[in-house]
Amino acid sequence: MISTFVNALLVAIAGVIVGSLVAMIRALARMRRDVARLVKMDSLRAGDLEAIARIQRPILVGVKVSLEAIRDGKSNGNVSDAHREISDSLDKYDSYLASLMRRGR
């Protein structure tokens, strides 16, 4: 009678331990997938930030030289150069956005 009870108790304890291990393994696998997804999203956002940074500088330079031309009343080609840089940057940025749309992001 006592050995039957002890056997049943050991089986129950083993079931709890195995069940807990299975649950922990599943949780770890789920966390690993979540971390991988976050890392992928982070790397995609890094490209977005790089594209924005690449376009921001020419725009700021263009604003600066435009203000200088307004202040000094003359343009020595720097406004045209800045305008060309802004146009080139915008074309690159548009191409980047188009590639994101083709990839389905």
> pLDDT tens-digit profile of 24-40?
888 888 888 888 888 88
Radius of gyration of the chain (CA): 31
Q: In this predicted structure, what is the pLDDT of residue 92?
A: 84
Contact of 82 with 58, CB cutoff 8 Å = yes
pTM for the predicted model, two decimal places: 0.44
Euclidean distance between the first and final Cα of the chain, in Å?
A: 66
Q: What percent of the chain has pLDDT over 90?
A: 0
